[in-house]
Structure 1
Amino acid sequence: MNLAPPPALVACDIDGTLLRTGNPASPGVRAAATAVRAAGHHIVLATGRSLVGALSVAQELELDDDIWIVASNGAVTAHVTGSGFEVITQHDLEAETAIRAALAASPGLRIAAEVVGVGYRVNIPFPDSEVNGTQNSVTGLEELWAEPTPRLALYGPSAYRAVPALRALGITAIPTRTDWVDVTPPGLSKATALEKVRTELGVEDDATVAVGDSENDLEMLLWASTGFAMGHAPVPVRAAADHVTGTLDDDGAATVLRSLLA
């Protein structure tokens, strides 16, 4: 099946799509990504991860030369070349307002404020398996918002309770699990950032493909001319997509990538 004439832009979520969190991508995904790039298509990593977390995956997949990354659910866009990376866009959050609202709704939360390309400022250290990059512990909450940040991560058993209060303020709050909420500025998504990347690359709007598995992929799947949900994605995500591919165990993302070569 030929989804789009070259060059196409294929936006790939990372966790739950290209790989299982904490594990490397499969040989099938790595091979398919290499083949798609060799065919002249553009792979854009579009993730809720911080930029530093996305960069490690780009390196693993050997996508670390002249590619684009949409990180932090659309709040950060970076261009990666062989000499490093350049942050092209960073939308910062009104962090004090968000933090105060979150703690009022769910006291005791661990909070991480992203430091782009480095790691996080944290009020309470996170397990190393939960965040990428360096963690710098602060001594007072005000240090969390003292410097600009595009994204907050809320972590704790009742983190989900903060979502209604944050959304009531117009802040983007996405519960990826009951104990984890990603918080970014209003009006942003992977899709808003991807549209700017598409324009920059000169890709036709009908030559866009996206694959994802979670709530933070909904806008991206609807933005793409052809959206694929992973087979294990929740029902609303599968309903938003044009097609459903295999699960992680089936190498569903590799199937989507290979379809660009047919």
Structure 2
Amino acid sequence: MSWRPRLVALDIDGTLTPVGSNDISPAVKAAITRATEHGALIVLCTGRSLVGVSAVAAQLPVTFCVCSNGAVWWDPALAEVTKRVTFDPGPTIKTLRALLPGSVFAVEQTGVGSLHLGEFLPGDLWGVTTPVTFDEMSVPTPRLVMRWLDHTPAELSFAVRELELPGIEWSVDHTEAWLTAVPLDVTKGSALEEISASHGIRAEDALAIGDGSNDVEMLRWAGLGVAMGQAPANVHAAADEVGPTVLEDGAAQVLNRYFP
């Protein structure tokens, strides 16, 4: 095979692991390890906060971690955050609270956990969780998440179909009634563009694999963007091809084609 990616960008939930899990199959671990042995840089690109990434990154030979949909960058070798972009979540929370009764919110405290307004479901939030008032939530943060309790992902998507949230980038999950917001012009794709350039790697030499709406920019950016089989239609449409599902170790099957 003539083409082999120099950089591999991998989503976590629904790509490397079942959603919300830290369990990576032996086949996926082996495939990622082989990619590094062939000289590829491995970049984890996730909507998870840094706290939520740590247990996954510790299992893999990772070059870099793009957390919070691109708002927080973590260098495992240096063991430090190398970039963190923030916004004021107050206006977004105010708009969503009015539109979606019963919604609960959390803002990321990078490397620590979350401040939350309302009670999330068990396992929703990583790290230390601290209940606060609305005024205490309005602090600069790289990532705001919202769950609409007792509603489905389809109901949330329908409710926000015409919503305008100025000054931020936001996406809705396809497996939970969950919305994630990060600073304007921050995406997995924009982060990868900057990181790859700093390593002298072109987008054409990158492979990206993901399954969510927050992966669309990453899949479009990469020379080869592969959507997981169980991803929704809009993610399939953004990708160059559709691979097997996460339950079939789809990421491993894709990587094995290029890193035998």
TM over 0.5: yes
Partner of 1:93: 87
Instruction: Point out where structure 1 has 5 or more consecutive residues left out of the alignment.
Output: none
Q: 1:256 to 1:19 in 2, by over 3 A?
A: same
Q: Aligned partners of 1:191, 1:166: CA distance in 2, in Å?
A: 23
Q: Name 1:219's counterpart in structure 2.
A: 217
Residue 2 (structure 1) shift: 4.4
Alpha-carbon shift at residue 164 of structure 1 (Å): 5.3
SS at 1:198 equivalent:
helix
Q: Equivalences for 1:192-207 in 2 at 5 Å?
A: 192-207=190-205
Deviations 1:34-74 (A, max 9, x none): 111122110100011111111211012353xxx21111111
Structure 2 residue corresponding to 1:188, chosen from 186, 189, 198: 186
* Equivalent of 2:99 in 101, 105, 110: 105
| Distance across 1 between alignment mates of 2:159 and 2:66 | 25
**8 Å Cα contact 2:31-2:259 kept in structure 1:** no
Matched position secondary structure for 2:208: strand
CA separation of 1:165 and 1:205: change in aligned 2, threshold 3 A: closer
Task: State percent identity of aligned pairs.
Answer: 39
Is 2:144 the counterpart of 1:152? yes
- Structure 1 match to 2:3: 3
Deviations 1:150-183 (A, max 9, x none): 1111012355577457634242221104521001
> Contact conserved, 1:229 with 1:244, CA < 8 A, in 2?
yes
* TM-score, normalised via structure 1 length: 0.89
Mapped contact 2:43–2:65 kept (Cα < 8 A): yes
Counterpart Cα distance in 1 of 2:158 and 2:141: 22
- The farther-off stretch of 215-224 and 118-127 is 118-127
Deviates more, 1:102-111 or 1:24-33: 102-111
Q: Give the drift of 1:96.
A: 1.1
Shift of 1:133: 1.3
- Which of 70, 77, 82 is matched with 1:74 structurally? 70
CA distance, structure 1, for counterparts of residue 194 and residue 49 of structure 2: 19
1:18 and 1:115 map into 2 onto residues whose CA distance is 25
Matches within 5 A, 1:103-142: 103-138=97-132, 140-142=133-135
User: Is contact 1:167-1:173 (8 Å) kept?
Assistant: no
Local SS of the residue matching 1:4: coil
Gaps in structure 2 of 5+ consecutive residues = none
After the TM superposition, which segments of 4 or more aligned residues of structure 1 sit over 4 Å from their partners? 158-162
Residues 97-151 of structure 1: CA deviation (Å, up to 9, x unaligned): 111111121133211000111110112232332121111111x2111123x2111
Contact kept? 2:22, 2:56, Cα under 8 Å? no
| Letter of the structure 1 residue corresponding to residue 196 of structure 2 | R
Paired residues in the alignment total 253
